[in-house]
Copies of this chain bind each other. A is one copy, B any other.
């Protein structure tokens, strides 16, 4: 069977990393995890464009776009099925930017998008207690909801473009196991 790419995204605080890790643990033989950002950072470092992850935000828009395409090509050339950890949109002071342009989608050809979400109260709480990045701005609930709404709209565009599945999972406290199982349903379906 040919390569399957499943994209998994979510706003910061939705708990994407932990559900992704657990889902991967249970389907080690089916998928490997690839982080879009880490692959792009590797390319940047190799090309001497930046010295660390934080500097990537200061790259010009055309440079970033070009790097995104190169990274997409690199990932699509990898062997086996991929759980691609990335962003649906990137929120910048100048506005939202799509995390997956049509050109990237044509390269990656994802068969499913999994959007990890949670209630805005939970998301805000998790961001507050996220001490590894204490500088992160705490957005108000309205900002989180706006980002969620925008992510769903973008994910819909991606899905329509790619004729793929769109799975939204609510990762609220106490529902971790359920969230993981919902993700596995999608992973199992696309690798049937």
Whether A170 contacts B157 by the Cβ 8 Å rule is no
Is A74 part of the contact surface with B, judged by Cβ < 8 Å? no
Whether A146 contacts B160 by the Cβ 8 Å rule is no
A69 → B minimal CB distance (Å): 11
Whether B152 contacts A150 by the Cβ 8 Å rule is yes
Q: A142-B170, A152-B150, A153-B152 are contacts. A97–B160 as well, Cβ < 8 Å?
A: no
Interface pairs (24), CB distance under 8 Å: A65-B163, A92-B165, A92-B189, A93-B189, A94-B189, A95-B112, A95-B114, A95-B186, A95-B189, A96-B165, A96-B166, A96-B168, A97-B165, A98-B159, A98-B160, A101-B163, A102-B161, A102-B163, A146-B168, A150-B156, A150-B166, A152-B153, A156-B157, A157-B160
Partner of A95, one of B65, B157, B167: B167
